Amino acid sequence: MSSASTSAALYATVVSASQITGAVPEDVQDKAHHAKGGKGFLNPWPSWQDMSAFSIIRAMAWRRISGSSNVPDTTPPTVPVQKPSFLPSRETPELRATWLGHACYYVEFPGGLRVLFDPVFEPRCSPFSFLGPKRFTDVPCPIEDIPAIDLVVISHAHYDHLSHPTVTKIKQLHPNVHFFAPLGNKKWFVDSGIHNVTELDWWEAKDVRLSKVDTKGGQNNGPEVVDAGSQSTASDISATVECLPCQHIAARTLFDKAHTLWSSWSITSGGKTVWFAGDTGYRAVPEVPKGEDDYGAKYAELPHCPAFKQIGDLRGPFDLGLIPIGAYEPRFIMSSMHANPFDSVNIFKDTRCKRALGMHWGTWVLTEEDVLEPPKKLKEALSSSGISEEGVFDVCAIGESREFA
């Protein structure tokens, strides 16, 4: 048995009944993000502009044919990659986050909880091993190097965020791991042979308790059967996991668009709270003349997604935000679903994150911006927003860990 699986087997996860905790928006019971007739989901805000997959493919193809597109140069060196260093035990004095590429973060919480967000460890983010976007930066480590994974949190079903080979490997190495995903995704997990999964709707939460499993002779006796309402012990690890809104879309094929929900997530454990934005846009931007600022006065009245301010007002402040900063060009195609760094800073401010790390860049070429542009634009956006303190909203190398007191 590997060290990873031994570590994972020390705790069994108990999940409470679904609940809505704390204040929520007044219209939460209206479920405006549920499509009529119970068939799928939608973004219920004027900040969203829907485009069909065919329209996106056609527009991107025409840009290539007409010579108006940018083809990013992935010639090394690009984003630095280093071998991650994980803590040797669950003794964690501070909140610690390690970027494993794209939207994947491994977060070590004070008190011992270990959470992996949107893990994809394959060379391609595609339903095919031979076709689709291929990594231009290496995976910083194999899954086997991660010593403990208690929870895996999935933002939505796109292939750059949900990978069948990755999640099945995680389940094999960490039998007691529990998966969280937005509404409608549970069937995919069950069909994949994974039953330790909870799906949630926006503003729903679960209390989670990890109870130490008794072991004899180094062998795991299996999950401890614990009443979710029973009293915790000093060795237990507790957390609250909440599903929250974001502005995106989900699909696994050309024929299941918006059949499953997309979301951001809040995780609270050990006195710290992390907000994982998942994959999100902020405002729909029309096609603007080349060189024109879509945050200029001419576009000041474009609506932005109100959900982020609701999250900040009702659940903030957050100790750490994990916020996307890449895959945004061309804006008139991508802005509804993907934030650029100027959007990202506004999301950071709306959600009242104390600190943030960027993600959703530096791994696959999904759009047209140069691969090293997002962190440069992030610095510009922070400066224009009056945020001058170093490290408030930062980026790091793939495999690098940052600690937050």
CA distance 83 to 97: 14
SS3 at position 113: coil
Residue 217 has pLDDT above 70, yes or no: no
Multiple choice CATH, 3-21+41-69+77-404, 3.40.50.300, 3.90.1150.10, 3.60.15.10, 3.40.50.10470: 3.60.15.10
Which helix (H) or strand (E) covers residue 210, if one does? strand 205-212
**Cβ(368)–Cβ(327) below 8 Å:** no
pLDDT digits (tens, 9 = 90+) for 350-367: 999 999 999 999 999 999
Can you give the length of the chain in residues?
405
pLDDT at 213: 67
Q: How many CB atoms lie within 10 A of CB 51?
A: 17
Cα angle 324-8-235, degrees, rounded to a multiple of 5: 100
CA distance 126 to 117: 18
Q: Domain map of the chain by residue range?
A: 3-21+41-69+77-404
Q: What is the mean pLDDT of residues 125-133?
A: 90
Q: What are phi and psi of 255, to 5 degrees?
A: -120, 5
Structure tokens that stand for 393 in this block? 């909203």
pLDDT digits (tens, 9 = 90+) for 73-82: 999 999 999 9
What's this model's pTM, rounded to 2 decimal places?
0.92
CA distance 265 to 202: 9
**Cβ(280)–Cβ(247) below 8 Å:** yes
Of 329, 207, 349, 188, give the one whose Cα is nearest residue 277: 349
pLDDT digits (tens, 9 = 90+) for 237-270: 999 999 999 999 999 998 999 999 999 999 999 9
Buried b (16+ CB within 10 A) or exposed e, 247-270: bbbbbbeeeebbbbbbbbbbbbbb
Name the maximum alpha-carbon separation found in the chain. 70
Under the banding of pLDDT at 50, 70 and 90, the label for residue 15 is confident
